Amino acid sequence: MQIPRLHPDTIEVVKERADIYDVVSEHVVLRKRGRDYVGLCPFHDEKSPSFTVSQTKQMYYCFGCQASGGSIKFLMELQKRSFSEVVLDLARRYQVTVQTLAPEQRQELQRQISLREQLYQVLAATAQFYQHALKNFSYGAHEYLREKRKLSDEVVQIFALGYAPGGWDTLYRYLVEDKHYPVQLVEKAGLIKPRKEGSGYYDVFRDRIMIPIRDVMGRVIAFGGRTMKDEQPKYLNSPETELFSKGKTLFALDAAKNGISQFDQAIVVEGYFDAIALHASGINNAVASLGTALSIEQVKLALRYSESKQLILNFDADKAGTNAAERAIGEIANLAYQGEVALRILNIPDGKDADEYLHTHSSEDYRQLLANAPLWIDWQIQQIVTKKDLKQATDYQQASQQIVKLLKNIVNKDTLTYYISNCAEILSLGNSQLIPLRIENLLTQISPAQTNSREREKPRFHNSNYDSKYTNSSYVDSNKEKSPLVSKTENSLLERAEGLLLRIYLNCPGQRQNIVNELEERDLQFSLSHHRFLWQSILEVTDLITDDNERDLVSRLQDICLEFPEESVSISHLFILTEKAKTEIMRSPQVVQATIARIEEVLCEKRIQYFSKLLQETDSQIESEKYDSCYQAFYREKTRQKELERQRQFTIIDLL
C-alpha cells in the first residue's frame, strides 16, 4: 500500500521520541567520549573513528565524509528508504499514534500498527500477572528461586520473574474475562490455545517459573517457562508470534548491550538462568540463545555492540554441552573461519553450567575462565587430539586427516600459517626435531582452494573419518597438478616406491607389521592421493581381519574399491601379483627398507628445496634468528638425505 502523507504533528512526536543514540547504536558501535559518542562511520570505510553522536543536539556528524543529520535521516541514508517509511517504522517502535493529512486513510494505518501495540499491552499485563502470582500463590516457586537458583529478591524483580499458576485456564480467565482482552489477541500473543475437543481455551504455561523475554528496547515479546518438577519439556518457550521469532531474539540482550560495549565481547550461554546468574554476579555482558543454533541474525544482534566482534560460547563441558556448542555455532562457522567473528568456546570444568559454577565460585573465577577460553579453531583441535592416542598409528592418521580438513577451512593466510605451526607442534608429541617435518607434511597436504573445487563433489567414504573429497591433499599427485618443488623424476620415483610398498603389504602378510613399524618410526605418510586412500582404507578395516584368513584383508579392500571406482582406478593393479611383481618382492625385507628409504629421500629433497627457498627470501641481517633456524633445518635435511642415499644403496642397489 502507498503510504499517505503524514501529519506534521506525528513527525514532530517521532522526532522527539526517537533518541539519536538508541537509533544509531543499533547499527554502529559507539563509545563514550566526553559528552558525546564516537564510532566508525557507516557511510564510508575508515579505520579510526570520526563519526560522532550528540544526545544533547540529537544529531550525528562525520568528520571524514561530512555526513550529518538526525535519527530519521540516519535511517533513510543507511537503509535507503523513504522519509514516510522511516517515520512510520519509528512511530511503531516508539508507540506514536499516526495521523495523516487524509482522515479517510487514518484507519488503515492504525490497523497496521494496532496489532503490535495491542500484543505489547497484553504481554506486559501477563508479565505483571505472573509477578503477582509469584508473590501471592506461588506454591514453592519462591523457594525454588531462592534455594535452588540462589537468586535474591532484587534479581527476581530486575528480571521480572513470575509464576504461572497450575490451573488450566487461570490466565485465560484473567485476561479475557477480567481484563476483557479479545480472545483472538491473547491467542496471537502465544498465551492460550484452543481445546482440541469442545469449546474454550487453555493456558500454554501452567505451574512453571516464568521468565519474560524482552526485545532490545526492553518490551516483553514472549515468555520462557521452567518446570520445578521432572516433567518434560523442562523449558517451554512461547510460539512464534508477530513480535517473537526465536531465531532473531537473544534473551537478556536489553540488559546486556551496555555490558557488551563496555567489555567489547558478548557471552552466549545456553539457558535463561545461566544468563541471569551471570548478571546477578556482575557479569552483565551475557545473553542466552533460547536453545537454538545461533543464527546470523542473533550474532549480528549481539555483536552490534562489540567493536572487535568477540563472541564467547559458554556451554557445558560434558558431551551434551560439546554437542550443544557444535550445534549452536550453526551458521556462523564461515564467519569464524573468515575472521569476521572472533569466536571462542568456554567449557566450564566438571561439566557445570554457568549457574552451577557461580554457586561455588566467584565472578572473578569466571572472568578468569573467560580470559583463558580458546578460540573456536583451537577448541576444535583440542576436541580432535583429546579423543585420540597419537602414539597409535590409526589414531594418528585419523587425527592428522581431521586436522588437515580443519585447516583447509581457514581463509586468512597469516592465521593458517600460525595454526600449521601449532598443529605441527601437537603432532610432534614433544619432539622438537620433528616439528619442521610436521610443518612440511601439513603444508603439502593443504591445497589452495582453486585446486580443490573439482574434488569437492566426490562422495564421502563410509564409516570412516577419511574424506575422499580431500584426496588431492598430497605432496604430489600423479593425476593432478604437480607441486613446483617436486620434479617429474622425483614424482615417478615416489609413485614407484609407494606402490611397491603397498603391493608388499597386500601380498606379503608377514611384512605387514614391519611396514607399519617402519612408517611409524620414521613418521612417514603416503603422499600420493590414491595411495593414501588405499592406506587409510587398510587402517580402517585392519581390526576386522581374522587371523585364520589372510585374504580377508584383500577381499574387504576390493569391496571398498568397487564402491569408490574413481579413487581405485590408480591402485587396482596393486592387488595383482604378476611374475615381474613376484620377482620384485622376492626379497621383501630388503625391498621394504629400500622403498621406505626412497619415499623419505624424495620427501627430504622437497624439504631441502623448501628451506632453500626460505633462506633466499630471508635477510640474515634483519631476521638473523629466523635465518639461523632455517639454515639449521636445511643442514639437517641435507645430512639426512646423504644417510638415506647410503642406506638405500646398501640395502638394494638396482631396485629403485
The three-class DSSP label of residue 248 is helix
Q: What is the tens place of the pLDDT at every residue in 89-107?
A: 898 888 888 777 666 666 6
**Secondary structure string (H, E, C) spanning 304-325:** CCCCCCEEEEEEECCHHHHHHH
Q: Taking the model in full, what pTM does it have? A: 0.58
Q: b/e per residue, 566-580, with b = 16+ CB within 10 A?
A: ebbebbeebbeeeee
**What pLDDT, on a 0 to 100 scale, did the predictor assign at position 237?**
94
Closest residue by Cα to residue 501 from 593, 567, 565: 593
Spatial contact of 270 and 304, defined as CB atoms under 8 Å apart: no
- Between CA 124 and CA 346 the distance in angstroms is 35
Give the strand pairing for 68-69 and 201-203.
Answer: unpaired
Q: What is the mean pLDDT of residues 257-265?
A: 87
- Between CA 424 and CA 443 the distance in angstroms is 10
Predicted confidence (pLDDT) at residue 495 exceeds the cutoff of 60: yes
Distance spanning both ends of the chain, measured CA to CA: 81
**What pLDDT, on a 0 to 100 scale, did the predictor assign at position 190?**
96
List all residues 6 or more positions away from 378 whose beta carbon is below 8 Å from its beta carbon: 422
**What pLDDT, on a 0 to 100 scale, did the predictor assign at position 464?**
30
Secondary-structure class of domain 248-373 per CATH: alpha beta
The residues that bridge with 214 in the sheet, in sequence order, are 220
- Distances in Å between the alpha carbon of 607 and those of 123, 477, 602, 612, 645? 68, 17, 9, 8, 15
The set of cell numbers assigned to 447 is 591445497
Q: Which residue has the higher pLDDT, 457 or 439?
A: 439
Topology agreement, domain 8-101 and domain 108-243: no
Q: What is the mean pLDDT of residues 468-494?
A: 42
CATH superfamily placement of domain 108-243? DNA primase, catalytic core, N-terminal domain (3.90.980.10)
Predicted confidence (pLDDT) at residue 491 exceeds the cutoff of 90: no
Spatial contact of 508 and 588, defined as CB atoms under 8 Å apart: yes
CB-facing half-sphere around the CA of 470: CA atoms within 13 A: 22
Q: What is the mean pLDDT of residues 346-353?
A: 84
In CATH, the architecture of 8-101 is Alpha-Beta Complex (3.90)
The set of cell numbers assigned to 167 is 490451573
Predicted confidence (pLDDT) at residue 181 exceeds the cutoff of 60: yes
In this structure, what DSSP letter does residue 6 have? B
The three-class DSSP label of residue 608 is helix
Work out the percent of the chain whose per-residue pLDDT is above 70: 83
Instruction: Give the Cβ contact number of residue 349 at 10 Å.
Output: 8
For the chain, the average pLDDT equals: 81
Instruction: Give the Cβ contact number of residue 361 at 10 Å.
Output: 15
Spatial contact of 641 and 608, defined as CB atoms under 8 Å apart: yes
The residues that bridge with 100 in the sheet, in sequence order, are 6
Q: What is the tens place of the pLDDT at every residue in 378-415?
A: 999 998 998 888 888 888 888 998 999 999 988 878 78
Tell me how far the alpha carbon of residue 264 is from its chain's centroid: 19
- Between CA 61 and CA 29 the distance in angstroms is 15
Predicted confidence (pLDDT) at residue 420 exceeds the cutoff of 50: yes
Predicted confidence (pLDDT) at residue 347 exceeds the cutoff of 80: yes
Angle of helix 376-386 versus helix 413-427 axis, rounded to 10:
20
Work out the percent of the chain whose per-residue pLDDT is above 90: 30
Residue with cell 618443488: 485
Predicted confidence (pLDDT) at residue 580 exceeds the cutoff of 70: no
Predicted confidence (pLDDT) at residue 628 exceeds the cutoff of 80: no
- Distances in Å between the alpha carbon of 636 and those of 557, 607, 639? 38, 10, 5
Spans of all domains in the chain: 8-101, 108-243, 248-373, 381-446, 456-650
Q: Cis bond leading into 374, ω under 30°?
A: no
- Rounded to 5 degrees, what are φ and ψ at 560? -65, -40
**What pLDDT, on a 0 to 100 scale, did the predictor assign at position 647?**
67
Least confident of 444-453, 527-536, 563-572, 596-605: 444-453
Question: Residue 523 burial by CB count (10 A; 0-12/13-18/19+): exposed, middle or buried?
Answer: middle
